[in-house]
Amino acid sequence: MRLTNWRFWLLPLIVIIVFFSQLYMQSKGLSRWRGGGFGMYTEVHFNYRQIWVDDSLVKLDKSLKARKDDLLLRSFKAFPSTYMLAKVRERFEISDDKKVEIWVPMIEPENFTFYRKRIFSSHE
Amino acid sequence: MNKLLNIFNYWLNQDNFQLVSKLFFLYVVVVMYKVNYANPIFVFPIVLLLLFVGLTNKSFLQKPWFWILYALFFTVNLIFGYFVAANHHFVVIYVCWLLAIAAPNRENVLAWNAKVLICLIMLLAVVQKFISIEYMDGSYFALVGYEGKFFVYLAKIIPFDLIPNENMDLIKNEVVKTPLASTEIPLKEPWANYVSFMKAFGWFVLIGELLVAILLFTKWKHFKNTTFLLVLIGILLTRQETGFLLVLTTLFIAQLSKEDKKTYLPYYMGFCILCFGLVVSGLGFL
């Protein structure tokens, strides 16, 4: 009865489809904290990621008065990709010769050292 | 005392759909102001329709159309904010659709889907943990614990300090340097084998989630409900995910059998109300 009645299987099917779509997006660079794949608390939150334009750190702070700008930069941190990079370059008028990178804080468990790992670079 | 018993009986006599729709409605009313990623032109007509249904129909919470409109509202917002919407934004959409398809009195549909939803949330979270190197080697928990992001509520009651302050100063100075000029900084562990402890804590969380997924489909009334409540409290004490916990608790209530309700409903409802208070007061996450 339950298998033939759509009310019993439609929602679970949607959840599973969303999960696999998130895994696909994850393979393209989407943070595990986003996309509906329930990967929270499996990696450092993308808010801790740093966007560097050449030697300048881009900060998400109150100086970003436009909500859209804040949303765009957070989206770039969550999905470091050439797709989001193009949007960021256009919105903030960053020329193509400037290097844009995203770095994330990490801990090396073997010897408990703090370091930063580059997860995206525009010049690779 | 009689008044309390009357209140308890009032809630106990409601069917699961009525209970869940009322509790969940409180949360979506609060959260809908905060998840506005969409261009208002797209959500304004949906909001108007929601208001129209709500104001013209006494039993609007029992109507499928009401919950379909809410699902549409959150889905449109999700499309615009896909890269920034939290994972429990997705769960909110799932619960809206669940209430829409179970309205007004398909209790078996509600209970079954709630069980499967909780099971999938737990199992998929376990899969994500297994495929994460940072999780499995303990480094993620070690870093976040070190930064004081865990056990925030406990720290307000029992003041403890995991973080050797001199190392936090080193980290703060390091993160503003250009990455290529940056070096690895050896940190002082709060206690011996800190990383191994955090790795074990990670396994503990993983096993807890697996246990919840399995127990949902057993008939061990006391063991399973006690475990569920302990897991909910454990998550709350570890991290203030009050919005997610509120939605999760409504799903736990949705799958309660009549027999389990008599004993455990007050605890689930109490936890729901606690989380709601923490969300609204800003002491917890939305």
Alpha helices, DSSP H only, in chain A?
6-27, 67-78, 82-92
Greater confidence (B114 vs B51) lies with B114
Task: Read off the pLDDT band of A63 (50, 70, 90).
Answer: low
pTM: 0.90
Ordered DSSP codes for B196-252: HHHHHHHHHHHHHHHHHHHHTTS--HHHHHHHHHHHHHHHHHHS--HHHHHHHHHHH
Q: What is the ipTM of this complex?
A: 0.88
The size of the A-B interface in CB pairs under 8 A is 148
- Of A111-120, B34-43, B178-187, B271-280, the range with the lowest mean pLDDT is B178-187
CB contact under 8 A, B139 and A107: yes
The CA distance from B208 to B230, in Å, is: 10
Give residue-wise pLDDT tens across range B151-170: 777 777 766 665 656 677 77
Kindly determine whether residue B116 and residue A12, on different chains, have CB atoms separated by under 8 Å: yes
**Nearest by CB: B112 against A2, A74, A106:** A2
Tell me the chain B residues in contact with residue A35 when contact means C-beta distances shorter than 8 Å. 82, 87
Confidence of residue A100 (pLDDT cuts 50, 70, 90): very high
| C-beta atoms of B179 and A50 within 8 A | yes
At A34, which amino acid appears?
Answer: R
What is the residue whose two structure tokens read 């009357």?
B6
Take residue A35 and report the two structure tokens written for it. Answer: 């996309």
What's the confidence (pLDDT) of residue A58? 84
Share of chain B above pLDDT 90, in %: 47
Which one of A107, A108, A118, A121 makes the best mutation probe of the B interface by having the most chain B beta carbons within 10 Å? A107
Q: Say whether A57 sits in a helix, a strand or coil.
A: strand
Report chain A residues whose CB lies below 8 A from the CB of B120: 12, 15-16, 19
Q: Which of A52-61, B22-31, B260-269 has the lowest mean pLDDT?
A: A52-61
Chain segment B137-147, per-residue pLDDT in tens: 888 888 887 77
Q: Does A1 touch chain B (CB under 8 A)?
A: no
Q: Give the residue-averaged pLDDT of A21-42.
A: 92
B193 compared with B251, residue with greater pLDDT = B251
Q: How far is CA B137 from CA A105, B98, B194, B204, in A?
A: 15, 37, 12, 13
Nearest to B114 by CA among B97, B89, B128: B97
Q: What is the mean pLDDT of residues B104-108?
A: 87
Query: Cα–Cα distance between B145 and B238 in angstroms, integer?
Result: 10
- A 40-79 residues with CB below 8 A of B? 40-44, 50, 52, 55, 57, 71, 74-75, 78-79
Calpha distance A27→A32 (Å, rounded): 10
Please tell me the predicted confidence (pLDDT) of residue A62. Answer: 56
pLDDT tens per residue, range B61-73? 899 999 999 999 9
The residue in chain B having the minimum alpha-carbon distance to the alpha carbon of residue A30 is B83
pLDDT of residue B272: 92
Q: How far apart are CA A57 and CA A37, in angstroms?
A: 30
In contact, A6 and B102? CB cutoff 8 Å: no
Range list of β-strands (E), chain B: 185-186
Contact B179 A106 (CB under 8 A): no
**pLDDT of A59 over the 80 cut:** no
CB contact under 8 A, A71 and B113: no
Of the residues A15, A24, A38, the best mutation for testing chain B's interface (the one with the most B CB atoms within 10 Å of its CB) is: A38
Please indicate whether, in this complex, the C-beta atoms of B120 and A116 are within 8 angstroms of each other.
no
Structure tokens at B155: 């720290």
Contact A38 B128 (CB under 8 A): yes
A103: which chain B residues are within 8 Å (Cβ-Cβ)? 179
